[in-house]
């Protein structure tokens, strides 16, 4: 079957080369009885590929069951998978068939296989190698003919090295590895998926259609989507239900995107994909270095006044005054710092055109980072007549960061 036909049959949306490769591998391995290990991040659609493999295989008329190994308590997972005899343990009031017995002749999908206890892993390995298993509390060997498809969102090989997963089981399951690409590697598919989800939800809830403006589309495409397709679908449903204005702007869209402190999930810069996105820490550093540069310029101005303004200064005292200025200019560790300029020694008491007194002159300047930040943002917005994209470029930060700072500072 062609890839496009598989997409239509199973409702897969996207044209990413990585997605097409995964579908092609599933199509090729489906007619065989080989075990398959599906890897991919949470929400990327691993279970959909297990259905593709089952439905395209000779077992398609047999039973199919999906089991989340991480959701079954360790004490009962053996009973769930292999069954138990009456009286096998406290509470076992009757005989129970396990999944490997009820799904005989079909396919069992073991999701989150890395969460399976080591003892159960040994039992599973025997099933894969010989088709044999023993019920809990029994000594009779049972036979089953089940195809196993496993899936995980963790690095199984790393779990093997840490002793949390059996190496022999890993190689037995990983006969054909199938990697599902995360949504951030399928940027060309993000808007297609969003349109499909919003269309489905607006039909379901009988609400007007949703549209994104150009900036919102860029935010949507450039977000990293840590929850993958599941997260995108959930957000589309929220927008379809909650938003009164059906034209969604970038600012509105950002309210539905979690703000991660790590910066890994932030939308990328739109003007230059090769530059790194600036974080909040970066803009604070920029403010601090600009302040230091201003202080250095102030130093030079005072030195010029002393040297060329008709004031005669003793050379040693002049050096002492300049050095004092350097000591007083430092990166602030507190909201407010006081700067003191020491009065140099005057050789001519009558020449004092700048009204320099013998007492120390104190200059106080607010060094509040929030005030400096607000002032810079206001100036940038005023310079570019409210155009946030140009203002963000001027400040050396991303538009997303600028949107957030405007909201936080109530500008």
Specify the CATH number for the domain of residue 131.
3.40.50.300
pTM across the whole model: 0.61
> What is the CA angle 271-274-280, rounded to 5?
75
204 and 328 both lie in a single domain: no
* Final residue before a domain boundary, out of 117, 148, 181: 181
pLDDT-based confidence at 259, cuts 50/70/90? low
69 and 169 both lie in a single domain: yes
**Residue 410, pLDDT score:** 75
CA distance 184 to 190: 8
CA distance 36 to 44: 17
Q: Where are the alpha helices (DSSP H) in 87-146?
A: 99-102, 118-130
142 and 78 both lie in a single domain: yes
Whether 266 is covered by a domain: the verdict is no
pLDDT-based confidence at 323, cuts 50/70/90? low
**Residue 101, pLDDT score:** 94
- The predicted-structure confidence for 91-147, as pLDDT tens digits, reads as follows 777 888 999 999 999 999 999 999 999 999 999 999 999 999 999 988 899 999 999
170 and 42 both lie in a single domain: yes
Please state the rounded mean pLDDT for residues 313-326.
50
Integer CA distances (angstroms), 19 to 23, 195, 226, 340, 393, in order? 6, 18, 17, 65, 35
Percentage of the residues of the chain whose pLDDT score is greater than 90: 54
**Pick the residue with more confidence: 11 or 359?**
11
* Final residue before a domain boundary, out of 208, 224, 254: 254
- The predicted-structure confidence for 204-254, as pLDDT tens digits, reads as follows 999 999 999 999 999 999 999 999 999 999 999 999 999 989 999 999 999
**Residue 347, pLDDT score:** 46
Q: Count of domains in the chain? A: 3
Please state the rounded mean pLDDT for residues 374-386.
83
38 and 161 both lie in a single domain: yes
Whether 264 is covered by a domain: the verdict is no
57 and 96 both lie in a single domain: yes
Could you tell me the two tokens for 122?
Answer: 């040994």
208 and 169 both lie in a single domain: no
234 and 157 both lie in a single domain: no
Q: Give me the torsion for CA of 366, 371, 372, 378, rounded to 10°.
A: -140
**Residue 342, pLDDT score:** 47
Determine contact, residues 337/362, Cβ cutoff 8 Å: no
pLDDT-based confidence at 402, cuts 50/70/90? confident
CA distance 411 to 16: 41
Do strands 132-134 and 141-143 pair parallel, antiparallel, or not at all (unpaired)? antiparallel
221 and 357 both lie in a single domain: no
pLDDT-based confidence at 14, cuts 50/70/90? very high
Nearest in space to 157 (alpha carbons), one of 166, 149, 148 = 166
Please state the rounded mean pLDDT for residues 157-174.
92
Whether 176 is covered by a domain: the verdict is yes
Range(s) of the domain holding residue 202: 187-254
* Final residue before a domain boundary, out of 181, 213, 246: 181
**Residue 282, pLDDT score:** 64
Weakest-pLDDT range from 99-108, 326-335, 393-402: 326-335
**Residue 10, pLDDT score:** 93
Determine contact, residues 314/345, Cβ cutoff 8 Å: yes
Q: What is the phi-psi region of residue 137: left when phi exceeds 0, alpha when psi lies from -120 to 50, beta otherwise? A: left
Whether 265 is covered by a domain: the verdict is no
pLDDT above 60 for 346: no
pLDDT above 60 for 290: yes
pLDDT-based confidence at 300, cuts 50/70/90? confident
Whether 262 is covered by a domain: the verdict is no
């Amino acid at each position: 079957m062609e890839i496009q036909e598989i997409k239509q049959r199973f409702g897969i949306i996207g044209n990413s080369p990585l997605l097409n490769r995964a579908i092609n591998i599933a199509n090729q391995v489906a007619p065989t009885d080989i075990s398959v290990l599906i890897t991919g991040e949470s929400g990327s659609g691993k279970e959909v590929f297990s259905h593709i493999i089952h439905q395209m295989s000779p077992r398609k008329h047999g039973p199919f069951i999906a089991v989340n190994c991480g959701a079954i308590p360790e004490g009962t997972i053996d009973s769930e998978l292999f069954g138990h005899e009456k009286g096998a343990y406290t509470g076992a009031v009757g005989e129970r068939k396990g999944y490997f017995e009820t799904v005989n002749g079909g396919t069992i999908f073991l999701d989150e296989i890395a969460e399976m206890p080591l003892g159960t892993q040994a039992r599973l390995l025997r099933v894969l190698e010989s088709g044999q298993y023993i019920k809990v509390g029994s000594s009779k060997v049972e036979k089953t003919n089940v195809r196993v498809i496993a899936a995980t969102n963790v690095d199984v090989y790393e779990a093997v090295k840490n002793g949390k997963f059996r190496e022999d089981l890993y190689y037995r399951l990983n006969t054909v590895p199938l990697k599902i690409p995360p949504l951030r590697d399928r940027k060309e598919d993000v808007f297609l998926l969003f349109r499909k989800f919003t269309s489905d939800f607006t039909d379901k809830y009988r609400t007007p259609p949703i549209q994104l403006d150009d900036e919102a589309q860029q935010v949507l495409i450039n977000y990293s989507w840590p929850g993958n397709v599941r997260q995108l679908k959930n957000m589309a449903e929220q927008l379809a239900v909650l938003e009164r204005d059906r034209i969604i702007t970038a600012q509105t869209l950002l309210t539905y995107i979690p703000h991660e402190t790590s910066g890994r999930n932030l939308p990328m810069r739109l003007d230059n994909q090769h530059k790194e996105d600036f974080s909040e820490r970066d803009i604070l550093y920029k403010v601090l270095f600009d302040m230091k540069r201003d202080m250095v310029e102030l130093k030079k101005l005072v030195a010029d006044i002393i040297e060329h303004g008709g004031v005669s200064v003793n050379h040693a005292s002049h050096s002492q005054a300049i050095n004092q200025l350097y000591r007083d200019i430092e990166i602030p560790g507190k909201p407010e710092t006081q700067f003191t300029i020491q009065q140099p020694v005057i050789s001519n008491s009558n020449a004092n055109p700048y009204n320099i007194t013998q007492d120390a002159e104190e200059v106080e300047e607010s060094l509040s980072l929030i005030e400096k930040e607000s002032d810079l943002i206001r100036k940038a917005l005023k310079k570019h007549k409210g155009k946030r994209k140009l203002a963000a470029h001027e400040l050396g930060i991303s538009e997303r960061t600028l949107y957030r700072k405007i909201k936080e500072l109530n500008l």
